[in-house]
Chain A
Amino acid sequence: MKFVKDRFNYLFNSTKGLILVAIAMVAIVTAIWGMLSGPMAEMGVREIVIKMLGMKIIQSEREGRIIILYHSIAMAIIAIETYMITGLLKMKEFLRMAVRVLITVGYIMTMLFGMGFAYFGHNWAFHGLYITGLSLIFFAGVLLCIALYPWQSEYYVSDKDYAHTKKGVDLERMAFFATAVTTVLSSLFGAVPGSFYGNGFETFLAENIIRYPEKTTMEYSVIGHLHIMLALIAVMLTLIIGRWLNFKGVWHKVAMPLMILGTIVLNLGVWGVVTPLEPVAHMIIYVGATPSMLAALFLLIWSWSKFAKEGTAHIAKPTFLQKLGAIVSDPLKFGPTWQMLFMNFTTSGIGIFMAIKLDEIFRVWPAREERIELTGHWHALSAIIATIILMYYGDMLGLKGKVRQLYGWGIIFLSDIALGAVTVFEMKRLFISEAEQQPLVNGLMYAIDFGLGMLLVLLAIVMIWRLTDLFKPKGRWTEEATHELAEEVMK
């Protein structure tokens, strides 16, 4: 009994244990459901998986299934970020505990009952429990906002290295708070249309209605919701990485106000799509995205300068190559910001290019080709977020030496190969015709499958290692059970 109790306590009562469970859940869902589409479907693996697991797939419900699948994975990612925030930032113990309990029960219910409802027959009790899970996550979000409330003297800072107001209000905490509050509010933009299902609102995927000149308010609401939620997950992760790396100094002082401003304006723009502001909403979104992206850039500049300085401290006059060597010496600390930079080539850059050349190039192509760009764009951003989380998790595990190098560079190279290939795939019509594309498509598919497949293998190895570790009486888990993330922030 003690055996089970100790492990249960580690898995559900410690930050690292909770993160491990959520990563494992996402890994399982990704591995299984990844076999239902793309090359796996072409090879016939999909049919085997469907039969083996007894899934009930109805053709007309594909869009609904996908929406539940996205939500299931997204809720686990939001839970991981919440564990990180509650592990990194000071807050009242009761609130920390309440947030964690609610979000853990919430995302597990969302995932189990949501996927059960979507893929294994329509048990409507499961549907109700899925909604209950989402509601619990919402309440966890509300409590997190209360816990992060920055205008409390106990959280004021006086250290001049960190951004704060004259009164001492911690601007980094305010950025976390602003992101949490806007996330909670933005979730309503999905929840409200969701509550009208079957009563004036029906399932749709945003990428399927891109070119329709008339959209309903509910459709706009959902489109705004999905864009802002992914953006806010990325903003929150940037803040988390900054806290882990102990972002400070001048760059911090400039970045944090920008992050707060960017988050608020970005949200106002997205919320504006359901108001008469819709025609100018995109302009407001660009205005909001710019300071947020600048803040992320400042984190990158600060962290790379720091790595270069610290890594060459023993050299009197370090050369450029020596500095570069120092920057990349630890892939787990270099990786998150590198992935943020790489994101500009696979996601942000492509998005801006598409927006500028939309009518001239992309809308000359059929809608289904434009859809490939859009879905590729979101998948790439989601995958980049996942890799950043995995790199921080690698550091939490205390990976050292060659294993740390292999794990870190493995994630960077494998994901960048896959996402680079996805980007070329999305844009292939710019330089190759439909009739001549097949060899290129094959080459890109090999790169994508190799990169993502090997990344999943790497993750599987880590998960198996963690599972076997749990059976050891004095495994690594015993240390992790008592270590808090705040203690491991870089000096």
Chain B
Amino acid sequence: MKRIILTLSLLTALLASCAPVDLNAPMPTYDTGIDPNAWAQIPAGEFYFGQHNDIASTDAYEIMITDITTQQYADFLNAALADGYVKMDGEQIIGFYPGDEFRGVKHEEKIEAGDWIFIPLNDPSQRIKFDGTTFTVQNGYENHPMTMVSWFGAWGYCGYYDWRLPTEMEWEKAGRGTDTRPFPWGEEIQRTNANFYSSRDPFEDMSSFGSRTSPVGFYNGKQYDDYQTLNSASPYGLYDMAGNVWQWTGNVYEGMHYRFLRGGSKDTYDMDLRLWVRNNATPTYYSPGVGFRCVR
């Protein structure tokens, strides 16, 4: 009898592990009051860069205070499709990229001039839908960060408006300010500072679908129902510079085709939310945990 109970328990646990995930499970909707069209001014000058606080400097620039939202990206696609900047290719949206210089370094892959994937349309995690003529956003995701977008798709978005992706240095300075803080808001991290793995935010259910994105600017000190957030803006007033989604940066480094991502995400532990932490992926990579913002 004991053996049967043990076997049944193990089988139950195994079956639970194979349970399908409802990617469209109901989700709360909140207005964060943060304007995703707003820009922050970053002055020229020195700042501490990287884990070991090297001194670096940038020129002055402006950076978006939030990640690009799904609604903003859908609006871009509608405009860009109409004027031929992007096109449909089967189940994906593609656009032109002029290519990178190839140096034949070990593991380097060619990124040639041509059409590259911006976003997939057939992936169940894609929150932008296309009915043949218009791009729309799945209800509830309008003010969430745009995800499932490749580096080319992020580069293409910024370029369409004559903006660009931030360099790693620009990204880090905007998040860190001029001191040596590890997180945009200061020295330590609490669960209500950011959306990270198992941070127990209202969009998360670790027993089924796991962690999901939160609306941009969600961690601004406001209370949403019974969930009180901490104001987690960076010294320059940027939101979501730690957690929620990894953010593509613009550098194209010599001898490597990988593009770098910053900020950690809803799927990573708090250590990856430290401002100097780098991640990278091929420029064709997309994921429910990767987004971007632009600079000008």
Q: Do A and B originate from a single complex?
A: yes
Interface on A for B, CB 8 Å cutoff?
37, 41-42, 59-60, 62-63, 202-203, 208, 211-214, 279, 358-359, 363-368, 433-444, 446
**B264, closest chain A residue (CB):** A368
Within the complex, what minimum Cβ distance (angstroms) separates B186 from chain A? 10
Which residues of chain B (1-52) have a CB below 8 Å from chain A?
A: 13-14, 16-21, 23, 51-52
CB atoms of A440 and B261 under 8 A apart: no
CB atoms of A59 and B288 under 8 A apart: no
Within the complex, what minimum Cβ distance (angstroms) separates A25 from chain B? 26
CB atoms of B21 and A443 under 8 A apart: no
CB atoms of B187 and A437 under 8 A apart: no
CB atoms of A435 and B23 under 8 A apart: yes
CA distance A60 to B13 in the complex (A): 39
CB atoms of B198 and A366 under 8 A apart: no
Complex interface: chain A residues within 8 A of B136 (CB): none
CB atoms of B108 and A202 under 8 A apart: no
Complex interface: chain B residues within 8 A of A37 (CB): 269
Q: B280: CB under 8 A from chain A?
A: yes
B18, B124, B261, B280 pick with most chain A CB within 10 angstroms = B280
CB atoms of B279 and A368 under 8 A apart: yes
B17, B105, B211, B268 pick with most chain A CB within 10 angstroms = B17
**A436, closest chain B residue (CB):** B21
CB atoms of B282 and A439 under 8 A apart: no
CA distance A75 to B53 in the complex (A): 31
**B276, closest chain A residue (CB):** A60
CB atoms of B17 and A435 under 8 A apart: no
The residue from B255, B258, B268 contacting A368, defined by CB atoms under 8 A apart = B268
CB atoms of A42 and B197 under 8 A apart: yes
CB atoms of B280 and A436 under 8 A apart: no
Complex interface: chain A residues within 8 A of B105 (CB): 213
CB atoms of A443 and B256 under 8 A apart: no
Complex interface: chain A residues within 8 A of B17 (CB): 439-440, 442-444
CA distance A63 to B208 in the complex (A): 32
Complex interface: chain A residues within 8 A of B255 (CB): 213-214
CB atoms of A211 and B258 under 8 A apart: yes
CA distance A444 to B14 in the complex (A): 9
CA distance A60 to B208 in the complex (A): 33
CA distance A265 to B108 in the complex (A): 29
Known: A367-B281, A435-B21, A438-B208. A443 touches B16 (CB 8 A): yes
**B19, closest chain A residue (CB):** A439
CB atoms of A439 and B281 under 8 A apart: no
Which residues of chain B (239-296) have a CB below 8 Å from chain A?
A: 246, 254-256, 258, 261, 267-269, 271-272, 274, 276, 278-282, 285, 287-289
CA distance A366 to B277 in the complex (A): 13
CB atoms of A446 and B285 under 8 A apart: no
CA distance A202 to B54 in the complex (A): 11
Interface on B for A, CB 8 Å cutoff?
13-14, 16-21, 23, 51-53, 105-109, 124-125, 180, 182-183, 187-189, 197-198, 206-211, 246, 254-256, 258, 261, 267-269, 271-272, 274, 276, 278-282, 285, 287-289
Complex interface: chain A residues within 8 A of B246 (CB): 366
Complex interface: chain B residues within 8 A of A213 (CB): 105-108, 254-256
The prevalent SS among residues of B at the interface is loop
CB atoms of B279 and A437 under 8 A apart: no
Complex interface: chain B residues within 8 A of A63 (CB): 51
CB atoms of A436 and B282 under 8 A apart: no
Within the complex, what minimum Cβ distance (angstroms) separates A66 from chain B? 10
Within the complex, what minimum Cβ distance (angstroms) separates A383 from chain B? 20
Complex interface: chain A residues within 8 A of B188 (CB): 59
Known: A367-B280, A435-B21. A60 touches B109 (CB 8 A): no
Within the complex, what minimum Cβ distance (angstroms) separates B191 from chain A? 9
The residue from A60, A433, A437 contacting B180, defined by CB atoms under 8 A apart = A60
Complex interface: chain A residues within 8 A of B258 (CB): 211, 367
Complex interface: chain A residues within 8 A of B125 (CB): 433-435
CB atoms of B288 and A435 under 8 A apart: yes
CB atoms of B274 and A434 under 8 A apart: no
Known: A366-B287, A368-B272. A438 touches B281 (CB 8 A): no
Complex interface: chain B residues within 8 A of A203 (CB): 51-52
**B20, closest chain A residue (CB):** A436
CB atoms of B13 and A59 under 8 A apart: no
CA distance A214 to B254 in the complex (A): 10
CA distance A359 to B183 in the complex (A): 33
- Other than A213-B256, A366-B279, A366-B287, give 9 A-B pairs with Cβ distance below 8 A: A37-B269, A41-B269, A59-B271, A60-B51, A213-B105, A213-B106, A213-B107, A364-B285, A435-B21
Ranked 4 nearest A-B pairs via Cβ: A443-B17, A438-B210, A59-B182, A366-B281
The residue from A368, A435, A437 contacting B124, defined by CB atoms under 8 A apart = A435
Complex interface: chain B residues within 8 A of A214 (CB): 255
30 contacts across the A-B interface (CB closer than 8 A): A59-B187, A60-B274, A202-B52, A203-B52, A213-B107, A213-B108, A359-B109, A364-B282, A364-B285, A365-B285, A366-B279, A366-B281, A367-B279, A367-B280, A434-B125, A434-B267, A434-B288, A435-B124, A435-B209, A435-B288, A436-B23, A437-B210, A438-B208, A441-B210, A442-B16, A442-B206, A443-B13, A443-B16, A443-B17, A444-B17
CB atoms of B280 and A60 under 8 A apart: no
Complex interface: chain A residues within 8 A of B211 (CB): 438
CA distance A89 to B181 in the complex (A): 54
CB atoms of A359 and B206 under 8 A apart: no
CA distance A366 to B247 in the complex (A): 13
**B107, closest chain A residue (CB):** A359
Complex interface: chain B residues within 8 A of A367 (CB): 258, 278-281
Complex interface: chain B residues within 8 A of A59 (CB): 182-183, 187-189, 271, 274
CA distance A214 to B253 in the complex (A): 11
CB atoms of A211 and B280 under 8 A apart: yes
CA distance A475 to B154 in the complex (A): 70
The residue from B13, B23, B279 contacting A446, defined by CB atoms under 8 A apart = B13
CA distance A436 to B255 in the complex (A): 34
CA distance A42 to B20 in the complex (A): 24
Within the complex, what minimum Cβ distance (angstroms) separates B35 from chain A? 29
CA distance A367 to B21 in the complex (A): 25
Within the complex, what minimum Cβ distance (angstroms) separates B154 from chain A? 14
CA distance A62 to B108 in the complex (A): 31
CB atoms of B271 and A439 under 8 A apart: no
Complex interface: chain A residues within 8 A of B278 (CB): 208, 367
**B21, closest chain A residue (CB):** A436
**B287, closest chain A residue (CB):** A434
Known: A440-B18, A443-B14, A443-B16. A366 touches B210 (CB 8 A): no
CA distance A110 to B52 in the complex (A): 25
Within the complex, what minimum Cβ distance (angstroms) separates A441 from chain B? 7
CA distance A108 to B183 in the complex (A): 36
CA distance A434 to B245 in the complex (A): 13
CA distance A232 to B122 in the complex (A): 49
**B270, closest chain A residue (CB):** A41
Within the complex, what minimum Cβ distance (angstroms) separates A56 from chain B? 12
Complex interface: chain A residues within 8 A of B267 (CB): 434
